[in-house]
Structure 1
Amino acid sequence: MRLGDLADRRVAVWGFGREGRAAIAAIRARLPQQPLTLFCGVGEAAAAHAFDSSLDLRAIEPDTAALAAFDIVVKSPGISAYKPALLAAREAGARITSGTALWFAERPEARVAAVTGTKGKSTTTALLAHLARSIGVRTALAGNIGMPLLELLDASAELWAIELSSFQTGEAGPVELGIITSLYEEHLDWHGSRERYVADKLKLADVSERLLVNATQPSLLERTAGHPQRLLFGHAEGWHVAGGFIHRGGQPVFDITRLRAPGEHNALNACAALAALEAMGFDAAAATAALADFRPLPHRLQPLGERGGVEWINDSISTTPQATLAALGSLAGRQVTVIVGGHDRGLDWSDFVAAMKAHAPHALIAQGANGQRIAKALRDAGVAVEETGDLAGAVARARALTPAGGTILLSPGAPSFDQFHDYAERGRRFAEWAGFDGREIAGIEGLGVR
Structure 2
Amino acid sequence: MRFADLRNRRVAVWGFGREGHAVIKALRSQLPAQALTLFCSVAEADAARAFDAALEIVAGEPDAAALSQFDVVVKSPGISAYKPALLAAQAQGTQFTSGTALWFGENPDARAIAVTGTKGKSTTSALLAHLARSLSVRTALAGNIGLPLLELLDQPADLWVIELSSFQTGEAGPLELGVVTSLYEEHLDWHGSRERYVADKLKLADAARTLLVNGQQPGLLERTAMHSHRLLFGTPEGWHVSDGFICRGAQAVFPIEQLAAPGLHNALNACAALAALEAIGMDALVAAPALARFRPLPHRLQPLGAHDGWHWVNDSISTTPLATLAALESLHGRTVTVLVGGHDRGLDWTPFVDAMRSAPPNAIVCMGANGARIEGALRSAEIPCPIMRVADLAGAVAEAKTHTPHDGVILLSPGAPSFDQFKDYAERGRRFAALAGFDAAAITGIEGLGIG
| TM value normalised by structure 2 | 0.99
Equivalent-residue separation in structure 1 for 2:233 and 2:155 (angstroms): 30
2:129 — aligned with what?
129
Give the SS at the match of 2:74. Answer: strand
1:341 — aligned with what?
341
1:41 — aligned with what?
41
Say whether residues 1:331 and 2:331 are aligned partners: yes
1:253 — aligned with what?
253
Say whether residues 1:447 and 2:449 are aligned partners: yes
CA deviation string 1:186-209 (max 9, x = no partner): 000000000000000000001100
CA deviation string 1:290-346 (max 9, x = no partner): 101111101100011111111100000000000000000000010000000000011
Say whether residues 1:274 and 2:260 are aligned partners: no
Give the SS at the match of 1:343. Answer: coil
Say whether residues 1:191 and 2:216 are aligned partners: no
Give the SS at the match of 1:100. Answer: helix
Q: By how many angstroms is 1:442 displaced?
A: 3.0
2:230 — aligned with what?
230
Give the SS at the match of 2:114. Answer: strand
CA contact (8 A) 1:318 1:412 kept: yes
Equivalent-residue separation in structure 2 for 1:400 and 1:42 (angstroms): 42
Say whether residues 1:391 and 2:393 are aligned partners: yes
Say whether residues 1:419 and 2:421 are aligned partners: yes
Q: By how many angstroms is 1:45 displaced?
A: 1.0
CA deviation string 1:79-118 (max 9, x = no partner): 0000001101011011100001000000011101100000
Give the SS at the match of 1:445. Answer: coil
Equivalent-residue separation in structure 2 for 1:39 and 1:78 (angstroms): 14
| TM value normalised by structure 1 | 0.99
Equivalent-residue separation in structure 2 for 1:442 and 1:23 (angstroms): 25
Q: Give the length in aligned residue pairs.
A: 450
| Residues 349-364 of structure 1 aligned to structure 2 (within 5 Å) | 349-364=349-364
Give the SS at the match of 1:176. Answer: strand
| Residues 262-301 of structure 1 aligned to structure 2 (within 5 Å) | 262-301=262-301
Equivalent-residue separation in structure 2 for 1:302 and 1:280 (angstroms): 31
Equivalent-residue separation in structure 2 for 1:357 and 1:191 (angstroms): 32
Equivalent-residue separation in structure 2 for 1:440 and 1:36 (angstroms): 38
Q: By how many angstroms is 1:46 displaced?
A: 1.3
CA deviation string 1:138-168 (max 9, x = no partner): 0000000000000111111111000000000
What is the letter of the counterpart of residue 389 of structure 1? Answer: A
1:95 — aligned with what?
95
CA contact (8 A) 1:322 1:413 kept: yes
2:409 paired residue among 395, 407, 410: 407
Equivalent-residue separation in structure 2 for 1:179 and 1:64 (angstroms): 35
CA deviation string 1:388-429 (max 9, x = no partner): 111110001111111111100000000001110111110010
CA contact (8 A) 1:304 1:431 kept: yes
Give the SS at the match of 1:299. Answer: coil
Give the SS at the match of 2:147. Answer: coil
Q: By how many angstroms is 1:439 displaced?
A: 1.3
What is the letter of the counterpart of residue 442 of structure 1? Answer: T
Q: CA RMSD in A?
A: 0.6
What is the letter of the counterpart of residue 409 of structure 2? Answer: T
Equivalent-residue separation in structure 2 for 1:125 and 1:101 (angstroms): 19
CA deviation string 1:198-240 (max 9, x = no partner): 0000000011000000000011001000000000000111100
Structure 1 spans left out of the alignment, 5+ residues = none
1:202 — aligned with what?
202
Structure 2 spans left out of the alignment, 5+ residues = none
Equivalent-residue separation in structure 1 for 2:154 and 2:401 (angstroms): 49
What is the letter of the counterpart of residue 17 of structure 1? Answer: G
User: Between the two proteins, what is the percent identity of the paired residues?
Assistant: 72
1:13 — aligned with what?
13
Equivalent-residue separation in structure 2 for 1:176 and 1:182 (angstroms): 20
What is the letter of the counterpart of residue 71 of structure 2? Answer: D
1:138 — aligned with what?
138
